[in-house]
């Protein structure tokens, strides 16, 4: 059986509504946001637990633990919401691979949702119980949550990785010629890739702490001593985190299959160089350096990683004759225009308004008064939202009426 022909046949016969490269770029960009919040959630959860167990040592550990518990709580919800966009784009251009991989591990794909729900509930239990005088046992909730989140990352990884190995699908579907429809196994795990991507959570919480100290500097209710503690801890975690991440990244590089030419590809090595640079820079940061800069450097590195994952996917699938550029395009301009206008209007203006508002309000410990600029943004956001809802329903109504007469 020619598995390449099978993959191309499994594509959506209706085609896709715009050029495949548009979906590819959006997939890579939106994945950066997803994984950034995965890293921050896991990193802050880990630090919250560590700080919780160090409370007895005194100092600012109890306070840091409570703060990081809140950060993880918010980040889990954001990583879920922001995971939807790359999921949809993957399903548009890599539908044969993604669905096959999900069906081959069907039980795990479904277990992913339940374990995420249980893990998140456990985190909330920890969040409510994590106070200065709480008993040590409360930490169990947090451990269970963190382990379940790591399991979810493993499931995500296996689903992504199995999708790259079409030559093995038949042996997983019908081992020894006997069909096994249980979907009970995670068939392929590339440990260096998993450990590297998940391990970036450590430097992520480091650069976050540096930004955290910078952000709260104008507030008088966050004492300078506590912020200095957070910043110095962040510098140490970032330095060691970036440096240690080089090991699994190197192992991933050396684990890449020879025939794909990936080892000679510069982007993978550029990531390694980026990790080294970030490790050195984090150690040299002076107190005058803008605290947001290391986080910006981290995001740049994540963009390289997102690009690298896509290069890896293209190279793994190329020998099977799978190329997204040959996907049948069935242009649908109105929906494409609606999509981009939504992205700019709702994502840009409404999202921009919320972010500006939250940023400014959070830096102010007293009653917050929006300035004229934010007030104008608010008016713009509400107007755009109104126009968007009207256009959405009008468009749907016109299409339904037109279809019912055809």
Nearest approach in angstroms of CB 156 to ligand HEM is 4
Q: Which of 230, 181, 185, 187 has its CA nearest to residue 210? A: 230
Distance separating alpha carbons of residues 30 and 336, to the nearest angstrom: 17
> Is residue 305 within the footprint of ligand HEM (CB under 6 A)?
no
Nearest approach in angstroms of CB 133 to ligand HEM is 30
> Is residue 275 within the footprint of ligand HEM (CB under 6 A)?
no
Distance separating alpha carbons of residues 199 and 208, to the nearest angstrom: 15
| 330-337: long-range pairs with CB below 8 Å, 24+ | 330/14, 330/15, 330/16, 330/17, 331/17, 331/18, 332/17, 332/18, 334/395, 335/17, 336/17, 336/18
Choices 82-90, 227-235, 246-254, 281-289 (CB under 6 A): range interacting with ligand HEM: 82-90
Residue 16, phi then psi, degrees to nearest 5: -120, 155
Nearest approach in angstroms of CB 144 to ligand HEM is 13
Distance separating alpha carbons of residues 375 and 368, to the nearest angstrom: 12
Binding-site member from 80, 129, 272, 299 for ligand HEM (CB under 6 A): 80
Q: Which of 64, 52, 44, 72 has its CA nearest to residue 135? A: 52
* Residue whose CB is less far from ligand HEM, 90 or 282: 90
Distance separating alpha carbons of residues 11 and 96, to the nearest angstrom: 6
Choices 31-39, 328-336, 346-354, 395-403 (CB under 6 A): range interacting with ligand HEM: 31-39
> Is residue 317 within the footprint of ligand HEM (CB under 6 A)?
no
Cβ neighbour number for residue 233 with a 10 Å cutoff: 20
Q: Under rule CB under 6 A, which residues in 196-255 are in contact with ligand HEM?
A: 197-198
Burial class (CB within 10 angstroms; exposed 0-12, middle 13-18, buried 19+) of 117 = exposed
> Is residue 268 within the footprint of ligand HEM (CB under 6 A)?
no
> Is residue 90 within the footprint of ligand HEM (CB under 6 A)?
yes
> Is residue 87 within the footprint of ligand HEM (CB under 6 A)?
yes
Distance separating alpha carbons of residues 283 and 10, to the nearest angstrom: 50
User: For 253-317, where are the E strands, in sequence order?
Assistant: none
Choices 86-94, 207-215, 247-255, 389-397 (CB under 6 A): range interacting with ligand HEM: 86-94
> Is residue 152 within the footprint of ligand HEM (CB under 6 A)?
yes
Produce one character per residue of 263-301: b if its CB has 16 or more CB atoms within 10 Å, e if not. eebeebeebeebbeebbebbeebeeeeebeebbebbeeb
* Residue whose CB is less far from ligand HEM, 84 or 375: 84
Taking CB atoms, the residue at the shortest distance from ligand HEM is 83
Binding-site member from 31, 61, 172, 229 for ligand HEM (CB under 6 A): 31
> Is residue 157 within the footprint of ligand HEM (CB under 6 A)?
yes
Choices 4-12, 145-153, 287-295, 329-337 (CB under 6 A): range interacting with ligand HEM: 145-153
Binding-site member from 116, 211, 271, 317 for ligand HEM (CB under 6 A): 116
Q: Which residues bind ligand HEM (CB under 6 A)?
A: 31, 34, 38, 79-80, 83-84, 86-87, 90, 116, 149, 152-153, 156-157, 160-161, 163, 193, 197-198, 309
């Amino acid at each position: 059986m020619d598995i390449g022909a099978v993959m191309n046949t499994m594509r959506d016969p209706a085609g896709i509504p715009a050029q495949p490269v548009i979906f590819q770029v959006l997939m890579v960009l939106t994945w950066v946001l997803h994984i950034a919040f995965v890293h921050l959630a896991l990193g802050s959860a880990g630090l919250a637990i560590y700080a919780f167990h160090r409370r007895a040592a005194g100092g600012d550990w109890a306070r840091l633990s409570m703060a990081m518990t809140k950060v993880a709580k918010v980040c889990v919800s954001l990583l879920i919401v922001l995971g939807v966009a790359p999921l949809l784009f993957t399903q548009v251009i890599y539908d044969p691979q993604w669905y096959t991989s999900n069906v081959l591990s069907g039980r795990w794909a479904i277990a992913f949702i339940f374990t995420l729900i249980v893990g998140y509930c456990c985190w909330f239990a920890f969040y409510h119980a994590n106070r200065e005088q709480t008993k040590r046992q409360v930490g169990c909730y947090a451990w269970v949550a963190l382990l379940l989140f790591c399991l979810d990352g493993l499931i995500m990884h296996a689903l992504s990785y199995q999708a790259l190995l079409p030559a093995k699908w038949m042996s997983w579907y019908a081992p020894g010629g006997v069909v096994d429809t249980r979907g009970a196994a995670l068939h392929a795990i590339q440990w260096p890739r998993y450990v590297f991507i998940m391990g970036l959570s450590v430097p992520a919480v480091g650069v976050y702490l540096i930004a955290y100290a910078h952000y709260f500097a104008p507030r008088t209710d966050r004492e300078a001593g506590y912020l200095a503690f957070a910043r110095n801890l962040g510098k140490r975690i970032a330095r060691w985190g970036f440096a240690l991440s080089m090991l699994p990244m190197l192992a991933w590089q050396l684990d890449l299959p020879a025939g794909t030419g990936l080892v000679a590809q510069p982007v993978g090595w550029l990531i390694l160089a980026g990790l080294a640079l970030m490790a050195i820079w984090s150690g040299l940061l002076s107190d005058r350096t803008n605290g947001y800069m290391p986080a910006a450097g981290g995001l740049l590195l994540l963009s390289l990683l997102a690009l690298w994952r896509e290069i890896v996917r293209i190279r793994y699938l190329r020998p099977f004759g799978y190329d997204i550029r040959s996907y049948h395009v069935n242009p649908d301009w109105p929906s494409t225009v609606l999509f981009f206008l939504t992205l700019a209007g709702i994502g840009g203006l409404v999202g921009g308004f919320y972010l500006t508002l939250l940023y400014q309000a959070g830096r102010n410990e007293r009653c917050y008064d929006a300035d004229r600029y934010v007030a104008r943004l608010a008016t713009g956001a509400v107007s755009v939202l109104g126009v968007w809802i009207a256009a959405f329903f009008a468009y749907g109504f016109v299409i339904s009426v037109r279809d019912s007469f055809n």
